Amino acid sequence: MKFVKQQPTSKAPADWFTGDVWWDVIVAGQEPSRMRVNTVRFSPGARTNWHSHVLGQALHVVSGVALIGTRDGTIVEAHPGETVTCPPGEEHWHGAVPDRFMEHLALWEGKGDGSTETTWAEPVSDEQYNGPRTRELPRATS
């Protein structure tokens, strides 16, 4: 057992985000661990670009209201204490509503071999961001 040395808060790269976003790396697991956990703070209206994760991602809302969107136009509104999962390879975005800060824990796995864990794409347009929201998650199909 050991304490993980905390890294300073970092401003998220403008190439991957619209608006002001900061993160704290909580865990960046070393082999054989693949665990990755960041606390991410979004200013009102800030959001990620479209992206996907090789092994999926879980988003746990700590404060504010999160928006999580998918390529089919679905935008889910998630509240503090709620967790939304995005399956491997699903292109999605997440961010804050226009009038509130939002903080979430982002949890995902790296492959442990130094390969790309996240594939980043283009920014989310204002039209995509401002689409209709739902509190209903799509039903999983098997």
Q: What pTM did the predictor assign?
A: 0.90
Provide the number of structural domains found in the chain. 1
Residue 34 lies in a domain: yes
Q: Residue 5: inside a domain, yes or no?
A: no
Pairwise CA distance, residues 104 & 93, whole Å? 13
Q: Is 58 a domain residue?
A: yes
Q: Give, for all 142 residues of the chain, the pLDDT tens digit.
A: 988 888 999 999 999 999 999 999 998 877 778 889 999 999 999 999 999 999 999 999 999 999 999 999 999 999 999 999 999 999 999 999 999 999 999 999 876 555 578 999 999 999 999 999 999 876 654 4
Tell me the C-alpha distance between 40 and 105, whole Å. 6
Cβ partners under 8 Å of residue 69, min gap 6: 75, 76, 92, 93, 94, 124, 128, 129, 131
In sequence order, the β-bridge partners of residue 103 are 41, 63
The CATH number of the domain where 118 resides is what? Answer: 2.60.120.10
- CB-based contact 94:104 (threshold 8 Å): yes
Instruction: Please state, in angstroms and rounded to a whole number, the distance separating the CA atoms of residues 12 and 34.
Output: 21
Is 41 domain-assigned? yes
Q: Which residue segment(s) compose the domain that 46 sits in?
A: 10-125
Q: Which two tokens stand for residue 107?
A: 């949890």
CA 26 to chain centre: 14
In a domain, 1, yes or no: no
